[in-house]
């Protein structure tokens, strides 16, 4: 039995499909999203860099802390106290989910299910 | 060895395609359930488990029953089971696969399934059920596959399988015991709160499993000329006879305790199943009585050695055993346990069309696994015999 | 031509991955946002809090999580319902307050959701009902809710600790962790738990928005009364107690001076299904 051509053909098809997104996009990752930051607030619970990369772990820790341990106050490293609540605290400043959360999440193709339960502030239309 | 399943007659491929179509339909139905939620089932706030968990319970029994072959063959060196034991082990693999799938389709949030491992909780019986079912799946997979591989090379089974085989015997008992413990430890569910649930589960399993196996062996003989052996079938029939009698005996014990003590919290469930409650006839009444009739008729047919040795009688008898045990676990267990509810209200349960489609889809996955494994095993065994 | 944006790129990458080998993105593509099994960690990991970010050492570090100092605390929370004080209006107000505060949807049919609801004596206390009962008690509708048992069977059976007993006795639900196996519903002898068979948000009619300060639930998780932990944390009594006009008492069972203990000293009280040994902490003053 000589399956060589079949195998090579299979590998080629696989490579073509596998690399499809790259040549389809022509190496262009598209415009970088612009996140609308709160106008009246300068300070978040942690630095911008930290929040940008680690907010998911922070929120994940918060939800366990609130639900499971009953700790509801977050004392930031600068001593400021926050109510650990996505919908009652985070969204007080970041009032527009579409212009804040969704910007990056859409760009990265992630869809966290926070908003299946948590109620987003009414979006300004 | 699996490549043996890739060569077959058109009949074989037609069957595989048929199963794939059923699986596809079941998967489609599951997608609807996945997007809409379990609202598409007939379950309710009062009857929170339905057809899926019932089939799961029944199939755990089918899986456990492989021990009825493994024990005589490996422990007592009962040679007559030499050809059929592998069929039993592979049936167990297929059954456990279906069990796990039934658990998954029953979950409200299946994507969080791994939380059971991320947050292991030894006080939950469901945690242990997950442990024993997965363990049993792998034991049978390793043992069955290694034995078949060795047989192909005309070697005795590898030594390392010995301890696994011995382990599989108590393990088989454990899977159905733990599954009974899911139910039997809940306060306030009078129907399930009974110490005899695990033995009753095992008895009905040791009737149902071998009954399925006899049906399969006779079918395989007809389709492939692979004969599991007259003595093997006869011994299985004997096992079924004892087991179905034990099953009905245990049921009688249950009925006695419940009816003679007449404690309403326990009695009302049996009343509901067989007579209806508060003048409200139950929707499962006819089935429950049918199960009893099937059980007793099967005993009458099986208890006479001459009759059960005649396949023309044996086949209908094991079908009756199957119907009896399937209704008992696949329908009565759930409806009886949840109705009436803890507030003594009646909410009845009946599966919906989509629920049935998903159920058939899971059964088709099991049938496909079984077909591929049997095809492999039979090809290996027949090839060996021809040469 | 416009370049493909990044989201599309990832989507297509996901599809190809799905064809090729499956994987996270592929999964996410078929079921957006559902790949969450990896959350949390092996037991105890959730205690590890937010990790230090290795990318930004010395950067504004994460802070501490502490309880609210205004929180109402107890060694063992308990409740008593004074059946003499209930009127039809009180009962309705209590149920309505709970449903509104917690976004409990009104779902028609038998896949409904109930946190606190009205039922008759013989359903609330099937073991105590008898033919020749005091007419007044017999005809009195009883409010039933989660009993926050001292020995809760639901907690015993939960395979993920999604339902657990807090140090103050409250039997709590972690909606982030529940896998929806409904074992707790089979285990609860009081029928106090409800399952979200469908997306509960479908049942909030237009114009009747959910309470924006409390989450709704999502399809596939089990829910029940939580003794208003979110209100206790702010120093407020449970919503039902607040609107009950004194018909519902709430307090620390370990404190002999608490309103519940005081009432229990002088009044005859019953609990639901006492004989099962779950030790309910909701008492009914007859």
Angstroms from B20 CA to nearest CA on chain C:
18
Of residues A69, A70, A109, nearest to C11 (C-beta): A109
Cβ-based neighbours of A34, under 8 Å, separated by 6 or more: A103
Same domain, yes or no: A108 and A93: yes
Residue C59's pLDDT band, with cuts at 50, 70 and 90, is very low
Angstroms from A118 CA to nearest CA on chain C:
4
Residue B107's pLDDT band, with cuts at 50, 70 and 90, is very high
Contacts of B37 in chain C (CB under 8 A): 196-199, 219-220
Of residues A30, A73, A77, nearest to C60 (C-beta): A77
The whole-number pLDDT of residue A1 equals 61
Cβ-based neighbours of B177, under 8 Å, separated by 6 or more: B198, B201, B202
CA distance A51 to A98: 18
B38: helix, strand or coil: helix
CA distance B213 to B181: 26
Residue A67 lies in a domain: yes
Residue A56 lies in a domain: yes
Same domain, yes or no: A53 and A74: yes
The whole-number pLDDT of residue C8 equals 60
Do the chains contact at B108 and C220, CB–CB below 8 Å?
yes
The whole-number pLDDT of residue A43 equals 85
Residue range B328-345: mean pLDDT, rounded = 92
Mutate to test the interface with C, among A18, A23, A25, A83 (most CBs of C within 10 A): A25
Interval C205-259: pLDDT, tens:
766 778 889 999 999 999 999 999 999 999 999 999 999 999 999 999 999 999 9
Contacts of A28 in chain C (CB under 8 A): 3-4
Interval C164-183: pLDDT, tens:
999 999 999 999 999 999 99
Interval B161-182: pLDDT, tens:
999 999 999 999 999 999 999 9
Angstroms from A123 CA to nearest CA on chain C:
13
Do the chains contact at C46 and A68, CB–CB below 8 Å?
yes
Q: What is the dihedral of CA B311, B317, B321, B323, to 10 degrees?
A: 110
Angstroms from C233 CA to nearest CA on chain B:
26
The whole-number pLDDT of residue C99 equals 94
Same domain, yes or no: A97 and A69: no
Residue range C73-80: mean pLDDT, rounded = 95
The whole-number pLDDT of residue C20 equals 45
Average pLDDT, chain A: 87
Tell me if B193 sits within 8 A of B266, measured CB to CB: yes
Residue A30 lies in a domain: no
Q: Write the ipTM.
A: 0.91
Angstroms from C201 CA to nearest CA on chain A:
9
Contacts of B342 in chain C (CB under 8 A): 188-191, 273
Interval A102-124: pLDDT, tens:
999 998 889 999 999 999 887 54
Q: Which residues between 198 and 227 in chain C have a beta carbon less than 8 angstroms from any beta carbon of chain B?
A: 198-199, 219-222
The full set of domains in chain C, from first to last, is 77-285 (3.30.70.20)
Residue A52 lies in a domain: yes
End-to-end CA distance of chain C: 78
Interval B91-103: pLDDT, tens:
999 999 999 999 9
Nearest-Cα residue of chain A relative to residue C14? A21
Residue C17 has pLDDT above 70, yes or no: no
Do the chains contact at A68 and C216, CB–CB below 8 Å?
no
Tokens encoding C278: 């779950």
Tell me if B342 sits within 8 A of B188, measured CB to CB: yes
Residue range B196-225: mean pLDDT, rounded = 94
Angstroms from C16 CA to nearest CA on chain A:
6
Do the chains contact at A87 and C215, CB–CB below 8 Å?
yes
Interval B252-271: pLDDT, tens:
999 999 999 999 999 999 99
Contacts of A113 in chain C (CB under 8 A): 33-34, 36, 218
Residue A14 lies in a domain: no
* Pairing status of strand C77-82 against strand C282-285: parallel
Task: Give the predicted TM-score (pTM) of the model.
Answer: 0.89
Q: Which chains reach chain C with 3 or more Cβ–Cβ distances below 8 angstroms?
A: A, B
Distances A84 to A35, A45, B327 between C-alpha atoms, Å: 22, 10, 51
Mutate to test the interface with B, among C157, C279, C280 (most CBs of B within 10 A): C157
The whole-number pLDDT of residue B50 equals 94
Interval A51-88: pLDDT, tens:
888 899 999 999 999 999 999 999 988 888 999 999 99
Q: Which residue reads 């149902």 in tokens?
A: B208
Taking residue B223's Cβ as centre, other Cβ atoms within 10 Å add up to: 14
Residue A8 lies in a domain: no
To 10 degrees, what angle do helices B311-327 and B285-302 make? 150
Residue B156's pLDDT band, with cuts at 50, 70 and 90, is confident
Q: Of all residues in chain C, what percent carry a pLDDT higher than 90?
A: 67
The whole-number pLDDT of residue C11 equals 58
Residue A24 has pLDDT above 90, yes or no: no
Do the chains contact at A77 and C63, CB–CB below 8 Å?
yes
Residue range B107-111: mean pLDDT, rounded = 95
Nearest to A115 by CA among C199, B218, C138: C199
CA distance B270 to B274: 6
Residue C29 has pLDDT above 70, yes or no: no
Q: Of all residues in chain B, what percent carry a pLDDT higher than 90?
A: 81
Angstroms from A45 CA to nearest CA on chain C:
8
Count of structural domains, chain A? 2
The whole-number pLDDT of residue C7 equals 57
For chains A and C, count residue pairs whose Cβ atoms are closer than 8 Å: 170
Of residues B37, B186, B187, nearest to C198 (C-beta): B37
Nearest-Cα residue of chain A relative to residue C21? A18
Contacts of C199 in chain B (CB under 8 A): 37
Question: What sections of C35-180 are H helices per DSSP?
Answer: 88-101, 121-124, 135-138, 153-157
Residue C40 has pLDDT above 50, yes or no: no
Residue A29 lies in a domain: no
Angstroms from C201 CA to nearest CA on chain B:
12
The whole-number pLDDT of residue C174 equals 95
Domain of B14, CATH number, reads 1.20.1630.10
Count of structural domains, chain B? 1
Instruction: Provide the residue range defining the domain that includes B96.
Output: 2-386
Tell me if B209 sits within 8 A of B62, measured CB to CB: yes
Nearest to B266 by CA among B212, B321, B337: B337
Do the chains contact at A75 and C32, CB–CB below 8 Å?
no
CA distance C68 to A101: 27
End-to-end CA distance of chain A: 67
Angstroms from B326 CA to nearest CA on chain C:
22
Do the chains contact at C211 and A76, CB–CB below 8 Å?
no
Same domain, yes or no: A80 and A92: no
Q: Which chains reach chain A with 3 or more Cβ–Cβ distances below 8 angstroms?
A: C
Residue C18 has pLDDT above 70, yes or no: no
Q: Which chains reach chain B with 3 or more Cβ–Cβ distances below 8 angstroms?
A: C
Alpha carbon B149 to its chain's center: 26
The whole-number pLDDT of residue C9 equals 57
φ and ψ at residue C282, rounded to 5 degrees: -115, 120
Residue C84's pLDDT band, with cuts at 50, 70 and 90, is very high
φ and ψ at residue B194, rounded to 5 degrees: -145, 135
The whole-number pLDDT of residue C48 equals 42
Residue range B61-86: mean pLDDT, rounded = 91
Tell me if C181 sits within 8 A of B107, measured CB to CB: yes
Do the chains contact at B109 and C156, CB–CB below 8 Å?
no
Q: What is the dihedral of CA C147, C148, C152, C156, to 10 degrees?
A: 130
* Pairing status of strand C282-285 against strand C163-165: unpaired
Angstroms from A7 CA to nearest CA on chain C:
16
Mutate to test the interface with C, among B32, B57, B100, B124 (most CBs of C within 10 A): B124
Residue C271 has pLDDT above 80, yes or no: yes
Residue range C56-72: mean pLDDT, rounded = 72
CA distance C127 to B262: 13
- At residue C130's C-alpha, the angle toward residues C127 and C134, to 5°, is 120
Same domain, yes or no: A65 and A95: no
The whole-number pLDDT of residue C14 equals 55
Residue A120 lies in a domain: yes
Do the chains contact at C229 and A119, CB–CB below 8 Å?
no
Lowest average pLDDT, out of A14-23, B75-84, C35-44, goes to C35-44
φ and ψ at residue C194, rounded to 5 degrees: -130, 150
Mutate to test the interface with C, among A13, A19, A21, A88 (most CBs of C within 10 A): A21
Q: Which residues between 113 and 152 in chain C have a beta carbon less than 8 angstroms from any beta carbon of chain B?
A: 113-114, 119, 122-124, 126-127, 144
Of residues C41, C156, C185, nearest to B118 (C-beta): C41
Q: Which residue has the higher pLDDT, C31 or B114?
A: B114
Contacts of C168 in chain A (CB under 8 A): 70
Instruction: Provide the residue range defining the domain that includes A100.
Output: 88-125
Same domain, yes or no: A49 and A78: yes
């Amino acid at each position: 039995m000589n399956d060589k051509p079949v195998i090579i053909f299979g590998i080629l098809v696989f490579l073509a499909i596998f690399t499809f997104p790259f040549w389809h996009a022509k190496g262009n990752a598209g415009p970088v999203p612009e996140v609308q930051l709160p106008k009246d607030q300068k300070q978040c619970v942690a630095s911008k860099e930290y929040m940008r990369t680690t907010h998911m772990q922070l929120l994940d820790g918060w939800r366990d802390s609130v639900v499971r341990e009953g700790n509801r106050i977050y004392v930031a490293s600068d001593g400021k106290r926050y109510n650990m609540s996505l919908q009652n605290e985070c969204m007080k400043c970041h009032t527009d989910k579409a212009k804040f959360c969704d910007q990056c999440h859409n760009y990265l193709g992630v869809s966290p299910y926070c908003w299946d339960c948590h109620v987003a502030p009414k979006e300004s239309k | 060895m699996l490549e043996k399943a890739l060569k077959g007659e058109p009949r074989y491929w037609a069957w595989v395609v048929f199963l794939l179509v059923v699986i596809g339909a079941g998967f489609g139905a599951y997608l609807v359930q996945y997007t809409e939620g379990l609202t598409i089932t007939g379950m309710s706030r009062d009857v929170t488990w339905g057809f899926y968990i019932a089939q799961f319970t029944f199939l755990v029994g089918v899986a456990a029953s492989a021990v009825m072959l493994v024990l005589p063959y490996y422990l007592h060196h009962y040679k007559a089971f030499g050809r059929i034991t592998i069929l039993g082990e592979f049936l167990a693999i297929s059954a456990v696969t279906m069990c796990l799938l039934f658990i998954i389709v029953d979950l409200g949030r299946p994507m969080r399934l791994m939380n059971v491992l991320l947050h292991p909780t030894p006080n939950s019986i469901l945690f242990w059920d997950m442990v024993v079912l997965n363990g049993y799946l792998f034991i049978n997979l390793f043992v069955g596959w290694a034995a078949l591989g060795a047989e192909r090379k005309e070697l005795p089974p590898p030594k390392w399988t010995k301890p696994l085989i011995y382990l599989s015997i108590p393990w088989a008992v454990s899977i159905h015991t733990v599954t009974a413990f899911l139910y039997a430890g809940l306060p306030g569910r009078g129907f399930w709160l009974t110490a005899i649930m695990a033995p009753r589960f095992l008895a009905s399993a040791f009737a149902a499993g071998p009954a399925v196996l006899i049906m399969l062996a006779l079918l395989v003989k007809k389709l492939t000329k692979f004969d599991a052996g007259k003595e093997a079938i006869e011994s299985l029939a004997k096992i079924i006879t004892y087991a179905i009698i034990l099953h009905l005996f245990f049921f009688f014990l249950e009925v006695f305790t419940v009816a003679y003590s007449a404690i309403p919290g326990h009695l009302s469930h049996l009343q509901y199943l067989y007579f209806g409650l508060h003048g409200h006839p139950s929707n499962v009444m006819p089935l429950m009585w049918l199960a009893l009739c099937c059980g007793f008729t099967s005993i009458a047919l099986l208890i006479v050695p001459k009759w059960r040795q005649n396949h023309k009688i044996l086949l209908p008898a094991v079908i009756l055993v199957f119907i009896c045990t399937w209704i008992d676990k696949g329908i009565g267990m759930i409806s009886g346990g949840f109705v009436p509810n803890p507030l003594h209200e009646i909410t009845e349960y009946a599966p919906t069309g989509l629920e049935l489609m998903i159920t058939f889809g899971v059964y088709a996955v099991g049938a496909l696994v079984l077909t591929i494994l049997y095809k492999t095993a039979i090809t290996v065994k027949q090839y060996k015999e021809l040469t | 031509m416009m370049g493909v944006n990044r989201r599309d790129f990832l989507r297509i990458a996901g599809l190809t991955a799905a064809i090729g080998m499956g994987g996270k993105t592929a999964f996410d593509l078929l079921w957006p946002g559902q790949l969450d099994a990896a959350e949390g960690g092996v037991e105890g990991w959730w205690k590890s809090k937010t990790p230090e970010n290795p990318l930004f050492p010395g950067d504004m570090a994460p802070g501490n999580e502490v309880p609210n100092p205004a929180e109402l605390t107890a060694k063992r929370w308990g409740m008593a319902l004074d059946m003499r004080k209930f009127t039809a209006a009180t009962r309705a107000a209590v149920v309505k307050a709970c449903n509104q505060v917690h976004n409990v949807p009104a779902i028609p049919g038998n896949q409904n959701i109930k946190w606190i609801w009205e039922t008759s004596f013989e359903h609330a206390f099937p073991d105590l009902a008898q033919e020749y009962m005091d007419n007044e008690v017999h005809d009195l509708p009883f409010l039933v809710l989660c009993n926050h048992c001292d020995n809760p069977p639901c907690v015993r059976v939960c395979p993920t600790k999604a339902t657990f007993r807090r140090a103050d006795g409250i039997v709590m639900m972690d909606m982030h962790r529940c896998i929806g196996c409904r074992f707790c519903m089979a285990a609860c002898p009081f029928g106090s738990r409800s399952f979200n068979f469908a997306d509960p948000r479908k049942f909030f009619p237009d114009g009747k928005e959910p309470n924006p300060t409390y989450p709704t639930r999502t399809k596939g998780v089990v829910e029940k009364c939580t003794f208003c932990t979110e209100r206790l944390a702010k120093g407020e009594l449970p919503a039902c107690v607040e609107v009950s006009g004194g018909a519902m008492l709430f307090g620390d069972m370990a404190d002999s001076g608490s309103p519940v203990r005081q009432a229990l000293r002088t009044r005859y009280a019953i609990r639901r299904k006492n004989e099962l040994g779950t030790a309910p902490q909701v008492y009914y003053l007859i």
